[in-house]
Structure 1
């Protein structure tokens, strides 16, 4: 028997068992945008043992969306962190005494139910070996789309034009606007109006207010479903919201 190898193995087990806590920084980052933090309600983070599904840690990412210049404009070098001290994240403090294979889940943005996306990954955690800095970054694709008008089940007279208005932001809450860093002129933003035997698309244009888009449509009597969507052909980001109205 190779006693040196046996001694090394036993020493390794003892070393692992003596470690009480391992820190893992977890962040959620909007695809083609910034980190998801306090300003939009954060991302719900759940860390599980991949085999037993036991929850080892959970919480909400908190902090700022990060430095726009560093994240969106500057070339990224190898090993360079995109995050800073106040950038949104959740520090998971795991009590593991042996190497543990974990699942990390992010649900974001947690306060926007129609827009929530789940992103997940798996990795080994070695006791005492912290993963900090940017840490584990989960990408969250899409747009947050909120229909502002018409309101749900609103009854609208048929003799007036129906205004469709929506607020559209990136998944981090960053603004979508003509000529902006997230340039609406490169996105497809439309309303799809449907009823039995009726289908029409309406182009939505930006109002004077950032991230707010509108269009008008004349409708006859009936029950209609309105879907507003945003799509970026360059990144594949997409998002939508739906509502139903009644034209008297």
Structure 2
């Protein structure tokens, strides 16, 4: 096609497009004509609190608390609990998706939804805290956004990511006394904040998470422990030598650290235990 013919075709194509879609049809700056002035309009807001790199915080972990605050006045506009399911693991973790394509709302998943009645654009701070069933692992995140009267924030909604893991010492059990000069097993559960287990070759691959234990007496680390996957989902184990009551008069603290350096998820679990002399071993019944 020569240059002259090309420009003729381009001209007629542009003219047809202009006739079908006049310039004003492309304008996004036209104000709404059906919106009453100075009248409060219902504005639906959905918030989803998710574990970073994981699923939604649902009922399995107690959900999360969400608070929406007007930044200009400090007034709390809404507050409540996120409840529901953790979401479709296959959709969230395995299915490719475009940037603006729904991710958490393609199937039922936990969320907090409210309706605000706004008379003017309002800048708010949305704060989330959870998981509520595991206070020791609880994290907090916030996000500042504008809400416009009548413009609903639904679908996935406003998503807040919480970083960390739920790290729990399973053995020894809380309240147990440790017997001096014994090799004591240490078993630990490591899960995402959504409650899903960390394990080798899983969606939350333990091979990428550095998990280790520490024995702390006073404010000193006396031993660092390499943790091994036990074969049960989310459980890791090791053992340590229990010092004497003379060396640990106030007992000892077991600390377990989980670190995923590339995605930023990090957490610590701790528990304190008294130490008894081997001569004071509790009698078995």
TM-score by length of 2: 0.78
User: In the aligned structure 2, how far is the partner of 1:112 from the partner of 1:198?
Assistant: 26
Aligned counterparts of 1:18 and 1:48: Cα–Cα separation in 2: 17
Secondary structure in structure 2 of the residue aligned to 1:71:
helix
Contact 2:252 2:274 (8 Å CA) reproduced: yes
Q: Secondary structure at the match of 2:137?
A: coil
CA RMSD of aligned residues (A): 2.0
Q: Deviations over 1:15-68 (max 9, x none)?
A: 35142x211110011111111111211011001111222111111111221122
> Does the C-alpha gap of structure 1 residues 144 and 155 become closer, same or farther in structure 2, counting only changes over 3 Å?
same
Structure 1 residue runs without a partner (length 5+): 1-7
Distance 1:40 1:156 in 2: 30
- Verify: 1:29 aligned to 2:50, yes or no: yes
Alignment check: 8 A CA contact 1:187 1:231 kept: yes
1:49 alignment partner, one of 49, 70, 74: 70
Q: Deviations over 1:147-168 (max 9, x none)?
A: 1222345322114211212111
> Does the 8 Å contact 1:13/1:98 carry over to 2?
no
- Residues 51/208 of structure 1: CA separation in 2 closer, same or farther (3 Å cut): same
In structure 2, what is the Cα distance between the partners aligned to 1:118 and 1:12?
39
Give the secondary structure class of the aligned counterpart of 2:78.
strand
Which structure has the higher relative contact order (CA within 8 Å, separation 6+)? 1
SS of alignment partner, residue 91 of structure 2? helix
Are 2:226 and 1:203 equivalent residues in the alignment?
A: yes
**Distance in structure 2 (CA, Å) of the matches to 1:179 and 1:198:** 31
Match of 1:247 among 251, 255, 275: 275
- Within 5 Å, give how 1:175-194 maps onto structure 2: 175-194=197-216
- Deviation for aligned residue 1:146: 1.1
**Unpaired stretches in structure 2, ≥5 consecutive residues:** 1-29, 277-285
- Determine if contact 1:194/1:224 at 8 Å carries over to the other structure: yes
Distance in 2, matches of 1:203 and 1:173, equals 23
Deviation of 1:198 after TM superposition, in Å, equals 5.1
Distance 1:133 1:34 in 2: 16
State which of 252, 258, 263 in structure 2 corresponds to 1:224: 252
Q: Quote the offset at 1:85 in angstroms.
A: 4.1
Secondary structure of 2:132's counterpart equals coil
Verify: 1:214 aligned to 2:237, yes or no: yes
1:118 and 2:146 matched: no
